[in-house]
Structure 1
């Protein structure tokens, strides 16, 4: 597990495969290792790079005010450290907000963007706002459990009903990929979720963009994802059937197919 110092904090990064670089940015409270199902498939054609964002996993927690823009600068610093001029970028949830800020601030560093389970301005989108407000409050006033009573809302209702044992196994897998050196890291991530506001700037994005999400997502609702896609000129839009917020775990084959088809059109 190679370590790297970026913007004053130490973290761990991983890579697999060769080809054009693909930077994968995970969501709130989750290690980059949670991209395992995507890396296994996508590394056949791309150099897949994952890492722990500041505040989670092996990464240091910092006293900074966490925002998607700050996390985007960390991503750029990682590309710099690895000698990568430009990469395809795929972000999930908070990672998708980070990817938005990355392409807005550094369009020359981004070849294309995949936004998975995304939104554009937290203040406008009450499901996602209340979700992260509640989770931050729970951590501020209780034990360090990033899931707790909120895990139920992350999964597809269809899969919970029809494939309950598989969902339980996936939840155990995901818990193994979730952790922080200190509760402040998780709180920082929730603060970044709540700070996101890019809707007025999204029309300036000019690189190829895919917005993709689960059709049963109860956190970043389908209409939030459609709003992002509608705001970005030429953006493609895909819904993954029978998937909730965690489509990268629930339906990895369908997600990988959509991503591979998009990247094949955007690569080169």
Structure 2
């Protein structure tokens, strides 16, 4: 798979299929690699890539600090994730694309539409991550990582990340830069040498501002309320993908199509048909 430098960060991506561009923001939290569309949780059974690539050019990629993409030690934010996504569209010469987010990928998909609405034809927000329980779990994960850092030091984080192979979502001790620590020797050396006070500020700022609310993180309701991009919202129903998060998007987005179906009835065939019908309906530009 090709790797391209986007804003100074190596990014692994793949394009699959033919047709209008569909930029896909992977599920998986801080382990949002492109393989998650076919291997992570319920997505491995939903078959989105196989179905959607029959009519669309699916653009999948490793989010920065995930999979085989690189990273940078700085306060992480939704705007930085948007920068990576927009740079990938520019690299591929795509002026306008449909987007689809799974899980936490919904926040980046919506943030891209808010920041650059002319670049987004429509967005599918599938099982958006959010809710009080989700925010609390994310903050706890950062607290546990910071406790490990203060007890053992940053070199111990590097060593553990390389020994365990686990990501931040599974093992908080390895932190949100675990993938980059494995992929890049120079980054790992610089990371281990970082001043502890500086690192604490970067980490605390990431936790507080990335997971900033008890609805869908990172999105101001007033920005969503004036967004003209059509959206399909498909609810989840667990502690990380609460129905309240999906309902919040339905309430705020002026052109939201809410698929009010329980997860138990969101079969692969039903999900594929519903998403394709939505994308097809918004694939012809008005005259």
TM-score by length of 1: 0.76
The verdict on how the C-alpha distance between 1:219 and 1:202 changes in structure 2, with shifts beyond 3 A counting, is: same
Partner residue, 2:57: 47
Alpha-carbon distance in 2 for matches of 1:259, 1:217:
21
Q: In terms of Rg, which structure is larger? A: 2
CA contact (8 A) 1:55 1:189 kept: no
Partner residue, 1:219: 240
Tell me, which stretches of 5 or more residues in structure 1 are unaligned? 151-178
Alpha-carbon distance in 2 for matches of 1:12, 1:75:
12
Are residue 200 (structure 1) and residue 222 (structure 2) matched?
A: yes
Q: Which aligned pairs between 1:256-267 and structure 2 lie closer than 5 A?
A: 256-267=272-283
CA contact (8 A) 1:240 1:255 kept: no
Which structure would you say has the larger RCO, counting Cα contacts within 8 Å and 6 or more residues apart?
1
Partner residue, 1:110: 120
The verdict on how the C-alpha distance between 1:221 and 1:100 changes in structure 2, with shifts beyond 3 A counting, is: same
The verdict on how the C-alpha distance between 1:148 and 1:54 changes in structure 2, with shifts beyond 3 A counting, is: closer
Alpha-carbon distance in 2 for matches of 1:78, 1:191:
27
CA-based RMSD? 2.7
Which one of 92, 117, 128 corresponds to residue 102 of structure 2? 92
Which one of 134, 137, 140 corresponds to residue 131 of structure 1? 137
TM-score by length of 2: 0.71
The count of aligned residue pairs is 228
Alpha-carbon distance in 1 for matches of 2:234, 2:221:
17
The verdict on how the C-alpha distance between 1:201 and 1:62 changes in structure 2, with shifts beyond 3 A counting, is: same
Alpha-carbon distance in 2 for matches of 1:243, 1:201:
32
Alpha-carbon distance in 2 for matches of 1:115, 1:10:
26
The offset of 1:135, in angstroms, is 2.3
17-26 vs 221-230, greater mean Cα deviation: 221-230
